Amino acid sequence: MRPRIGIVGAGVAGLACAERLRSIGDIMLVDKGRRPGGRLTTVTIGNSSWDLGAPFFTACDPQFRAQVMDWQRAGWVARWDLGPPNAWVGVTSMASLIAEQSRGHEIMFGFQARSLVRKGCGWTLESQAGRIGPFDALVVAVPAEQAAPLLSLHDLDAARDAASIRSSPCWAVMVEFARPLPVATHLMSDWGIFSLVASNRSKPARGEEECWILHANGQWSRDHLELSPVEVAPLLLEAFAAEISIDLPEPSFIKAHRWRYSRPRGQSGDVIWNPALGLGACGDWCTEPTVEGAWLSGVRLAEKMIGTMGENGARLDGDFRHGR
């Protein structure tokens, strides 16, 4: 009988892991969000849109480059010619890439896993909404700060690894203007208090609306972490105006969003897999804080799982630390 594998988190890492595990098991993903997206979230209002999370990604690893070429042939991604070198974006939004990857997978949205419960040789997932399972193996593919408490009751070493990661926050502001701004560039990075400022309409397959995303850097975001979105939005708009040295038109739309766990640091470079328990973890906090890093972590965890799980779900004994 094929093993049943549960994955907590239907973002880049979780979906990459699920896709690779199709060959050995039946996969179910759960995600606390209401729709696909995660850190590739896109906000759309009418004809206006903002890539609120990662504004683009690059492809350096040969394995990931091959995957991106497949996505391009499928029409899911395109090069961002006006962006930095080797920049790719989802089509027609960053969230579209996750939505396309999600097709064909069993995913329960709106399920926030509060605990992992092990009974005998099986697992169940519990949330306020109820319990699902059983599973022969579980994968935790959420930010390190959320992974640590889920892992802590079952694999203390894995929980310590997750707890050692520190993520920088990021305040992001979505703003739209009624007319184009008189600026020469569509992308600025490491610029004043901003880690990135980008025009959404400069990307392929977007509309013509003058929509901008403003990402504050980690230091500014930490210093202003507990302000409200209503307080943050005008502060970042004022800083944007000062940096480009123009009088901005009155925004037709503006809203701030706080990414509390935006950019992890302190990665070990490896994923976590405990074959004795059938419990693993992946994400950009294991490898590097990029879309590419998240995808590679999911693939590498799946490869370790395939190496230790047979078609009947049996697991190998021995030293389980990181699958070694």
Tokens of 6: 């549960």
Are 75 and 194 in contact, with CB atoms under 8 Å apart?
A: no
Domains of the chain: 4-33+110-165+266-323 (3.50.50.60), 166-265 (3.90.660.10)
- Asked if residue 120 has pLDDT above 70, the reply is yes
Q: What is the DSSP letter of 108?
A: E
Total count of residues recorded for the chain: 324
Q: Would strands 210-216 and 194-199 be described as parallel, antiparallel, or unpaired? A: antiparallel
The pLDDT of residue 112? 95
Structure tokens at 197: 């400022």
How far CA 312 is from CA of 4, 29, 83, 169, in Å, comes to: 10, 20, 47, 42
pLDDT in tens, 140-150: 999 999 999 99
Give the confidence band of 268 by pLDDT, cuts at 50, 70, 90. Answer: confident
Res 313: pLDDT: 45
Which has the closest alpha carbon to 150: 130, 125, 132?
125
Confidence at residue 310, expressed as pLDDT on a 0 to 100 scale: 60
- Pairing state between β 4-8 and 26-31: parallel
Q: What is the pLDDT of residue 69?
A: 98
Contacts 24+ apart (CB under 8 A), 85-88: 85/58, 86/58, 86/59, 86/60, 87/56, 87/57, 87/58, 88/56, 88/57, 88/58, 88/59
Please tell me the pTM assigned to this model: 0.93
